[in-house]
């Protein structure tokens, strides 16, 4: 059966509800239940690890037997495993739900497969409604679930001729206020923000996300990697979230540990050495390159060695966005899908 207008509107509402839940170790999920006549019976969303999933959060608001013959509109495929909560697919079957419309397949090895379980029980299942919108909402969680590591965004600012700083090392402020405000907004969307000890010792950054002088409600976990010790009076120790310090240059080890901590997205904002290390490791999902209309010259390039020995080995990119920010330009890019598959690690 085709998806109707009422179900489409219900999915948009489910996505709106999903955004109320916390972004973290679990995906943000929303659900809307419709009666056979198309009336809204109940709404729900996932409120965090260990709490009822969105479907159950909605079901408990429906009178006994009232869900029989209903349609469940959910932003993610109902789960098919028992963790801290039971399988939602079975709960929908037990409630007598006749139809399930969802946006995204669950990529988890254990949690996926709910749609097959529903179909086997005779439930009409439709997948893919508003999938693009749902993927934007839970993109980092999807990446982390699929790859077993956080989604990685590497950001750097450079002059038009590719320099991150002048000959004397000065780089503040390379870009203008509009670009800096955009960086802080994007920091606030990440679970963690990472720099190397070189940047920390040179700039003593706070690693907070700010709107002017006011902190965003959500603050990314500050992460520092490198062998040099972090001074006891460094600004990072005054961050609202306790920092994670890694005395290593092993990118994979850091990402693995952050994934184990439930971190699904990392905003890498170190200097050229750290940015280049992540690019060389092949674990970068997105690049944010802020380009200022300046000519600086000198040797302080925005990137160093990323493992490219010839033009044939260059990392081919797909540009997703070009954004004008005052006098500056932001390029949002990712590695070509074919290149990612060939590299095998991103």
Question: At 161, which CATH number?
Answer: 3.40.430.10
CA angle at 331 for the pair 328 and 337, rounded to the nearest 5°? 175
Residues with a catalytic annotation lie at 55
Packing angle between helix 272-281 and helix 251-260, nearest 10 degrees? 80
Note the pLDDT of residue 111.
62
Q: Which tens digits make up the pLDDT trace of 79-118? A: 987 666 678 999 999 999 999 999 999 887 656 689 999 9
Looking at the DSSP bridge assignments, the partners of residue 322 are: 331
Which residues have a Cβ under 8 Å from the Cβ of 19 and sit 6 or more positions away? Answer: 28, 30, 137
d(CA 312, CA 332): 22
Encode pLDDT of 33-82 as tens digits: 999 999 999 999 998 878 899 999 999 999 878 899 999 999 999 998 76
Element (H, E) at 73: strand 71-76
> What is the predicted pLDDT for the residue at 81?
73
Q: pLDDT band at 339, cuts 50/70/90?
A: very low
If you write DSSP's letter for every residue of 235-270 in order, what string do you get?
Answer: GGGGSSS--EEE----HHHHHHHHHHTT--EEEE--
The confidence band for 325, taking pLDDT boundaries of 50, 70 and 90, is very high
pLDDT value, residue 204: 92
**Contact in structure between 290 and 175 (CB atoms under 8 Å):** yes
**Cβ pair 293, 251 in contact under 8 A:** no
- Nearest residue to 59 via CA among 49, 74, 80: 74
Domain span at 87? 5-142
Q: How far is CA 322 from the centre of its chain?
A: 20
- Say whether both 178 and 319 belong to one domain: yes
Beta strands in 122-262, from DSSP E residues, in sequence order? 124-127, 151-159, 192-196, 210-211, 214-215, 221-225, 244-246
* 19 and 131 housed in the same domain: yes
138, 213: one domain: no
Of 86, 108, 142, which marks where a domain is finished? 142
pLDDT given at position 106: 87
**Could you tell me what percent of the chain has a pLDDT over 90?**
64
Highest mean pLDDT among 141-145, 146-150, 240-244, 308-312: 240-244
Q: How many CB atoms lie within 10 A of CB 329?
A: 17
Closest CA to 269 of 290, 299, 291, 241: 290
169 shares its domain with 96: no
**Predicted pLDDT of residue 173:** 79
What is the total count of domains within the chain? 2
pLDDT tens digit sequence for 180-193: 999 999 999 899 99
Tell me the backbone φ, ψ of residue 287, rounded to 5 degrees. -120, 135
Query: Residue 343's pLDDT band (boundaries 50, 70, 90)?
Result: very low
- Compute the Cα dihedral for 4, 10, 16, 20 and give only its sign: negative
185/328 same-domain check:
yes
Same structural domain, 167 and 38: no
> What residues have CB less than 8 Å from 5, skipping those under 6 apart?
none
- From residue 108, alpha-carbon distances to 190, 242, 283 in Å are 22, 29, 20
- The residue with greater pLDDT, 228 or 345, is 228
Q: What is the mean pLDDT of the chain?
A: 89
Q: Rounded to whole angstroms, how far apart are CA atoms 341 and 335?
A: 10
Neighbour-count burial of 98, counting CB atoms closer than 10 A to its CB (0-12 exposed, 13-18 middle, 19+ buried): middle
pLDDT in tens, 263-307: 989 999 988 999 999 999 999 999 999 999 999 888 889 999 888
On whether both 189 and 94 belong to a single domain, the answer is no
Q: Residue 24 — pLDDT band, cuts 50, 70, 90?
A: low
State how far the Cα of 10 lies from the Cα of 183, in Å rounded to an integer: 33
One domain for residues 107 and 15:
yes
Q: Is residue 100 domain-shared with residue 155, that is, in the same domain?
A: no
| CA gap 340, 346 in Å, rounded | 5
């Amino acid at each position: 059966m085709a998806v109707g207008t009422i179900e489409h509107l219900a999915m948009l509402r489910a996505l709106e509800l999903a955004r109320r839940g916390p972004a973290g170790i679990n995906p943000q999920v929303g659900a809307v239940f419709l009666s056979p006549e198309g009336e809204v019976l109940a709404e729900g969303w996932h409120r965090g690890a260990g709490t009822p999933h969105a479907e159950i959060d909605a079901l408990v608001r429906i009178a006994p037997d009232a869900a029989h013959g209903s349609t469940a509109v959910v932003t993610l495929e109902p789960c098919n495993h028992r963790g801290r909560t039971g399988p939602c697919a079975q709960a929908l079957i037990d409630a007598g739900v006749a139809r399930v419309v969802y946006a995204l397949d669950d990529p988890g090895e254990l949690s996926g497969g709910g749609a097959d379980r529903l179909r086997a029980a005779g439930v009409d299942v439709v997948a893919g409604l508003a999938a693009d919108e749902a993927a934007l909402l839970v993109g980092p969680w999807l990446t982390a679930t699929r790859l077993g590591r956080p989604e990685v965004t590497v950001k750097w600012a450079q002059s038009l001729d590719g320099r991150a700083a002048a000959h004397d090392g000065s780089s503040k402020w390379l870009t203008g206020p509009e670009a800096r405000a955009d960086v802080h907004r994007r920091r606030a969307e990440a679970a963690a923000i990472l720099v190397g000890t070189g940047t920390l010792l040179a700039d003593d950054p706070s690693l907070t996300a700010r709107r002017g002088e006011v902190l965003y409600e959500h603050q990314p976990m500050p992460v520092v990697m490198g062998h040099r010790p972090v001074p006891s009076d460094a600004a990072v120790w005054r961050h609202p979230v306790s920092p994670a310090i890694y005395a290593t240059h092993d990118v994979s080890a850091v990402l693995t540990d952050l994934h184990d901590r439930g971190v699904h997205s990392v905003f890498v904002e170190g200097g050229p050495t750290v940015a280049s290390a992540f690019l060389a490791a092949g674990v970068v999902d997105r690049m944010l390159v802020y380009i200022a209309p300046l000519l600086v010259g000198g040797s302080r390039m925005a990137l160093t060695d990323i493992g490219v020995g010839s033009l044939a080995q260059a990392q081919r990119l797909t540009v997703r966005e070009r954004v004008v920010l005052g006098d500056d330009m932001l390029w949002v890019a990712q590695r070509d899908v074919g290149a990612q598959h060939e590299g095998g690690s991103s």
